[in-house]
Structure 1
Amino acid sequence: MELRHLRYFVAVAEAGSLTEAAERRLHTSQPSLSRQIRDLEKEVGVDLLSRSVQGVELTPAGKGFIDHARQALMHVDAAVETARRAAQPARKTLAIGFQTGHEMNWLPPAMQVLHDELKNIEVVVSSDYSPDLAEALARGRLDLAFLRVEPGYDLEYIVVDREPLIVLMPSDHRLTTRDAIRPQDFVGEIFIGGSNKATVLHAVTEDYFRRMGLDIKLDHGVDNLAMVMSLVVSTRGLALMPEYAKNLLPPSVVSRPLDGETPTIEIAVGYSKLNTSPVLKLFRSRLDELVRPNQKH
């Protein structure tokens, strides 16, 4: 079994189409791709994909195979990235990722942790959505990231804070007269929340409404905060988002806290156990300086 077989299989499964995967992602011919997939299935000994005129779907065997295929590819990518960095040892680097919007809260204290070492290392900073940060950590493109505890990745997480969810609404919405929003206030309103890609936020939101005894259906699921705010204004709906969203609100959108029991979402520092960077080791040794007081017990 060759690595290209795994890459081809994952690309086809994610695209849902042999033709689309061949043309747009793999830049190869569809007959050649089909042959590679058949070779993989022959080696595994079972059908991994079900083919129809609508496209392709994972078989039960394929669903069991794909997570391991992704993990294998991530470990290979991480090994390649580690080797490349080791070949350029002139200056130590630390690549830090932040969930978009959290840079304002966490970049200054992160730099303070490294203050004594900043003259000797290069810090590379980027921001992205939490699932994409987790994948970058697993593939070795980032050394550490401030993100949610994302399932499905072989990473270590240290929770540094728990962030309450808040309600976003148009600045002229009738509920702006309230100091806090009750769960019942969502009834009859257009509800905007995290999509299935935003796994952690989606799960926390569903659990909150279930515990409140409310059957609130998601009208618009998004994982892009800019799109959330656009939908809040255009649909005049309510959104349930982590508190960091307040850092990015335009004048047309305002926020209110939730009344009563408030759901929270964890903010963690994540890193790969396979990462042997000495700068990462140093940062981890000083992580206690970042943990909020209420997280230390």
Structure 2
Amino acid sequence: MEFRHLRSFLALTEELHFGRAAAKLHLTQPSLSQQLQRLERKLSVTLLERTSHEVRLTPAGEVFRDHARVIVQRMDGAAQAAREAAAGRHGTVRVGYNFSAWQMILPKVLARMHERHPRITVKLSEMRSGVAQAALAAGELDLVFGHGRPTAAGLRHRRMMEVPIVALVGAGHPWARLPRVDFADLAGQRCILFAREQNPAMYDAILTAADRRGIRLDVAHHVDDLNATALVVATQPVVAFVSRHRGEHAAAGGLGSVAVPFTAPAPAVDLHVVWRPGQGPSPTRALLGCLDEMSVLQGSTGQAR
């Protein structure tokens, strides 16, 4: 059974007139009649009854019409999906992101992505920047929004914005009533830090700031979970380090923590988008294109090509 015969049969069921159906298909009437005859021979049934006055479907023709429509629609959908996949407009892009990207980048970009490429699924996973980049290098993610340049070879990246680091303290901490503090005032304060592999860029920025001020951090706890960090801060007289965006969110969350900025020069980290390079169109490149359209990027250290 040839697919073109199904299309010809469906045109006849819509027009119920050989002349109009032939014109619609850009065929001659004899050619259309031959296609119908071949289809009927293949099925061993009569699909259409034709008289000098009318063309009408047989009961078998009515049943076959409904099934033929489904087949043609699915074939058309498959062809469209193949074309969109070839053009990078179909598929899934797996994205790892941190809190700053969630607040400042993703809402607008994902809205544009849905508008431009509705057939691309964006699978989102919030995670610490170091963990996300490791997952990207291992092939578990396609694109990452996180702090710092990529640490693995072969990855491409673009700088998007600078993110200040702030102190997170409990509401009862002496710093909670201050508009800002000097980083050097951390001398003598008990701190919470995280394992470097969780966020190498932020970890290094914090220790570099301490070295420049000639102080050594008194690390009372190592806590990798950010929600647990907020809880410890709210219940103990310690200082944690978070991005400004997460600090403001934690302070508004009602857990009893306060985000306190550092005086200039305050430590900061760069937010980057990082991806594995690939050849040709892809869902990843489609998302990068949406980033370009939204004019989100403030600097560039790589190309989407």
Whether contact under 8 Å (1:150, 1:199) holds in the other structure is: no
- In structure 1, C-alpha distance between the alignment counterparts of 2:268 and 2:130, rounded to whole Å: 18
Partner of 2:282: 278
Once the two structures are superposed, the pairs formed by residues 196-275 of structure 1 within 5 Å of their partners are 196-197=196-197, 198-245=199-246, 246-249=248-251, 250-251=253-254, 252-274=256-278
Partner of 2:141: 142
Whether contact under 8 Å (1:160, 1:290) holds in the other structure is: no
In structure 2, the CA distance between the partners of 1:91 and 1:156, relative to structure 1 (3 Å rule), is closer
Larger radius of gyration: 2
> 1:199 offset after TM fit, Å?
1.9
Does 185-194 or 214-223 show the bigger shift? 214-223
Whether contact under 8 Å (2:164, 2:266) holds in the other structure is: yes
> 1:263 offset after TM fit, Å?
1.3
| Residues 9-30 of structure 1, C-alpha deviations (whole Å, 9 max, x = no match) | xxxxxxxxxxxxxxxxxxxxxx
In structure 2, the CA distance between the partners of 1:101 and 1:261, relative to structure 1 (3 Å rule), is closer
In structure 2, the CA distance between the partners of 1:290 and 1:188, relative to structure 1 (3 Å rule), is farther
Q: What amino acid sits opposite 1:248 in the alignment?
A: A
Q: What amino acid sits opposite 1:143 in the alignment?
A: D
| Residues 95-139 of structure 1, C-alpha deviations (whole Å, 9 max, x = no match) | 222125642332212214424324222222221222221122223
Q: What amino acid sits opposite 1:247 in the alignment?
A: H
Whether contact under 8 Å (2:183, 2:266) holds in the other structure is: no
- Structure 1: gaps spanning 5 or more residues: 1-85
- In structure 2, C-alpha distance between the alignment counterparts of 1:144 and 1:289, rounded to whole Å: 17
In structure 2, the CA distance between the partners of 1:91 and 1:294, relative to structure 1 (3 Å rule), is closer
User: How many pairs does the alignment contain?
Assistant: 210
Q: Per the alignment, in what secondary structure is the counterpart of residue 219 of structure 1?
A: strand
Task: Give TM-score scaled by structure 2 length.
Answer: 0.61
Once the two structures are superposed, the pairs formed by residues 38-57 of structure 1 within 5 Å of their partners are none
Partner of 1:152: 152
Q: Per the alignment, in what secondary structure is the counterpart of residue 133 of structure 1?
A: helix
Q: Per the alignment, in what secondary structure is the counterpart of residue 196 of structure 2?
A: coil
- In structure 1, C-alpha distance between the alignment counterparts of 2:120 and 2:224, rounded to whole Å: 33
- In structure 1, C-alpha distance between the alignment counterparts of 2:98 and 2:279, rounded to whole Å: 20
> 1:90 offset after TM fit, Å?
11
- Structure 2: gaps spanning 5 or more residues: 1-84
Task: Give TM-score scaled by structure 1 length.
Answer: 0.62
Q: What amino acid sits opposite 1:125 in the alignment?
A: L
- In structure 2, C-alpha distance between the alignment counterparts of 1:181 and 1:144, rounded to whole Å: 36
- In structure 2, C-alpha distance between the alignment counterparts of 1:274 and 1:295, rounded to whole Å: 21
Identity score, percent: 19
> 1:224 offset after TM fit, Å?
2.0
